Each structure stands twice: as structure tokens, then as C-alpha cells.
């Protein structure tokens, strides 16, 4: 894979092939951008959408496709995939996620922002150059709405954050834990929906992702780098998706739940029963997946991540 392609809209020098940048983080050594964000040319949501056509059936509801859809180019190098990056590069990427999430959620009418990455054709990527995306929606997506409801119910019943409860349970059990650091745990969650589904979770109750301090960003960068390397090494370099699940931007949600990052290796595709029933069939128990991922760590289940530089 070359470092540069003249026909790639995400490579440096081809900026005119994309909309104007909403964010550029600069590599001071090269005096050029290191990470670049801009509106998706083929956006599913836009700030000023066309009004929906007239609705003749009162049982059906149409809403304008209002929101935000941006691309975050993760590196100026066409072949700089996650397993080749430095911790400093991951720190910059996390800062970009924070800045664009905060900007999206500050817009009127935005209810939720999801940062996600599709890695490989089997995970839905259409352009090879490493990039992530962020979509901010005017309503809570079904998963986020369901989680918010359960988290609120759990808070009312116990006075505890649901995400903290899940993290505590995994740490107490231990057999699904891949690694831990001072502030994070990497786990294969109980009843995982897909083989080798992996969560990176703050161990203690976390402030919103967009307000995470630089010391914690450095630590999270090392954990994310290590986790993606383990997924690649232990499962044959699979295509994968990851999604950053943030709490909805209101005080009630922030007390009941907090953010975590979900990695979904594409080791199998859902078939008819799964698509028809909405029930998952997982052919690899999370306990076995965790044991396999601990192997390159010497079975320790812990790692001190490399520290990135402040960005």
C-alpha cells in the first residue's frame, strides 16, 4: 500500500476534492496537517436538509434529515493504519474526536453524537485511506435510547451508574478481563453479541468524553492502541468496526451512565435467524476470547500503556 495516491481525496494536496475543513490539527515538525475533519460529501444528515415531502397517511411520520455527518481523516499517510501508529498519533485522534463531538452536540436540535470507524471492506469502508466518521442525530438512536432508559431505571433502583456496575462486575469476575490500567479496563462483555466483541471502559465513574483531561487521554491512547493490536494479532487481522458510545448531553444521563468504546471484529456475518429475530448467535465465548487476547500479554491481563505527547 503506497503512502500517497494522487487520486485519493484524503491524501495531502488533494484537499480541493473534499469540502472545506471543519478541523485541522497540525504536525509542527512537518508544518502540515496531521488530522483533518470535514463534512461528508455523501452525508446521511445535513444542517440544512430539504423539507420532507407531504405526508398523506397520519400513521406515518417523516422528519427532515437534520444533523451532522463528518469525516475525520486520521493521518496524512494513505497506509498509516492503526497497527502502525505511535501513541502520539492516537492522542491526536482522540483530541479530534473530542473537539468534533463537542462542536456537534453544541448545535441546536442535536440529541446525540456517535463517533465510529469502519476498518476494511468487510466492515463497510469504501475508501482505504484511514478515517473515522461522526454522525450527530436529532433523536436518540434506538440503542442509545434503550441504554438511557435502563440506566435511569438502574439509578432509581440502586443509586448507582449502570456503566460503573458493569465494569465492577467484569473486574470482580475477572475471567473476561483482557487488561487493566489505572483508569481503564478492556473486557469481553458477558453475553457479547459477536465473537471477540471488546469494550474499553473507564473503571471509575467518568466525566463526559469531551471533557477528558490530557493525562487520561494519554492513557486511553495507549489502551486503544494495545487493544487494536491484540484484535489484529489474535484473530487474524480481521476487518472491524468500533463505536464510541457517549452519554446523551444532559445531567440525568451523565449521572446514570458514562462513555465506553466498543470494538466489533467482523469474524462472522449475521444470517437469517439473527436478522429475522434480532437475537445474536455468538460462536466464541467471551471467556475464551479474553484468554486468547491475554496471550500476547503473557497472560497478565494488565499492561502499562505507552504515553503519548500532549496535543
Per-residue pLDDT for 291 more than 80? yes
Span 177-223, pLDDT tens digits: 999 999 999 999 999 999 999 999 999 988 899 999 999 999 999 99
- Residue 308 pLDDT level (bands cut at 50, 70, 90): very low
Which of 3, 127, 123 is CA-nearest to residue 75?
3
pLDDT of residue 305: 47
Percent of the chain clearing pLDDT 90 (strictly above)? 77
Average pLDDT for 116-134? 95
pLDDT of residue 211: 93
Average pLDDT for 114-118? 98
Q: DSSP strand E in the chain: where?
A: 23-27, 32-39, 68-73, 112-119, 131-137, 177-180, 184-187, 198-202, 240-245, 260-265
Asked if 15-47+63-137 and 142-297 have one fold, the answer is yes
DSSP secondary structure of 224-262: HHHHHHHHHHHTTS--EEEEEEPPPSSHHHHHH---EEE
Q: What letter would DSSP give residue 46? A: B
pTM, 2 dp: 0.92
Dist. CA 67–CA 48, nearest whole Å: 8
- CATH 3.40.50.720 for domain 15-47+63-137, yes or no, is no
Both ends of the chain: CA-CA distance in Å? Answer: 28
Q: In 106-179, which ranges are continuous DSSP H helix?
A: 142-158, 162-173
Q: Are 310 and 91 within 8 A, CB to CB?
A: yes
**Which residues, including other chains, have CB under 8 Å from residue 238's CB and lie 6 or more apart?**
120, 122, 196, 231, 232, 265, 266, 267
Phi, psi for 191 (deg, rounded to 5): 55, 40
Dist. CA 224–CA 202, nearest whole Å: 12
Dist. CA 282–CA 145, nearest whole Å: 24
The dihedral over CA atoms of 250, 255, 259, 260, expressed in degrees to the nearest 10, equals: -150
pLDDT of residue 306: 44
Q: Are 105 and 210 within 8 A, CB to CB?
A: yes
Per-residue pLDDT for 304 more than 60? no
- Determine the topology of domain 142-297 in CATH: HIT family, subunit A (3.30.428)
Dist. CA 222–CA 88, nearest whole Å: 9
Structural domain boundaries in the chain: 15-47+63-137, 142-297
- Residue 56 pLDDT level (bands cut at 50, 70, 90): confident
Q: Are 168 and 132 within 8 A, CB to CB?
A: no
Average pLDDT, the chain: 91
Per-residue pLDDT for 29 more than 90? no
Dist. CA 116–CA 100, nearest whole Å: 12
Which of 261, 262, 193, 263 is CA-nearest to residue 235?
263
Amino acid at each position: 500500500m503506497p503512502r500517497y495516491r494522487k487520486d485519493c481525496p484524503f491524501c495531502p494536496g488533494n484537499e480541493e476534492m473534499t469540502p472545506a475543513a471543519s478541523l485541522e490539527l497540525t504536525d509542527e515538525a512537518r508544518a502540515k496537517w496531521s488530522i483533518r475533519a470535514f463534512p461528508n460529501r455523501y452525508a446521511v444528515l445535513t444542517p440544512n436538509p430539504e423539507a420532507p415531502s407531504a405526508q398523506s397517511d397520519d400513521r406515518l411520520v417523516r422528519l427532515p434529515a437534520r444533523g451532522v455527518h463528518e469525516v475525520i481523516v486520521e493521518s496524512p499517510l494513505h497506509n498509516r493504519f492503526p497497527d502502525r501508529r505511535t501513541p502520539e498519533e492516537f492522542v491526536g485522534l482522540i483530541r479530534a474526536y473530542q473537539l468534533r463531538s463537542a462542536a456537534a452536540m453544541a448545535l441546536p436540535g442535536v440529541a446525540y453524537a456517535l463517533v465510529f470507524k469502519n476498518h476494511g471492506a468487510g466492515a463497510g469502508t469504501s475508501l482505504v485511506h484511514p478515517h473515522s466518521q461522526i454522525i450527530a442525530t436529532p433523536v436518540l438512536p434506538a440503542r442509545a435510547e434503550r441504554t438511557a432508559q435502563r440506566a435511569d431505571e438502574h439509578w432509581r433502583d440502586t443509586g448507582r451508574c449502570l456503566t460503573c456496575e458493569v465494569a465492577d462486575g467484569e473486574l470482580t469476575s475477572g475471567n473476561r478481563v483482557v487488561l487493566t490500567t489505572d483508569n481503564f479496563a478492556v473486557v469481553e462483555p458477558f453475553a457479547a453479541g459477536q465473537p471477540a466483541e471488546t469494550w474499553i471502559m473507564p473503571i471509575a465513574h467518568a466525566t463526559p468524553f469531551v471533557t477528558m483531561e490530557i493525562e487520561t487521554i494519554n492513557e486511553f491512547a495507549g489502551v486503544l492502541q494495545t487493544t487494536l493490536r491484540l484484535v489484529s494479532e489474535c484473530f487474524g487481522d480481521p476487518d472491524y468496526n468500533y463505536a464510541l458510545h457517549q452519554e446523551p448531553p444532559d445531567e440525568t444521563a451523565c449521572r446514570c451512565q458514562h462513555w465506553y468504546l466498543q470494538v466489533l471484529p467482523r469474524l462472522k456475518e449475521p444470517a437469517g435467524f439473527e436478522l429475522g429475530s434480532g437475537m445474536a448467535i455468538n460462536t466464541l465465548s467471551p471467556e475464551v476470547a479474553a484468554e486468547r487476547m491475554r496471550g500476547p500479554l503473557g497472560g497478565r491481563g494488565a499492561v502499562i500503556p505507552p504515553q503519548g505527547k500532549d496535543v
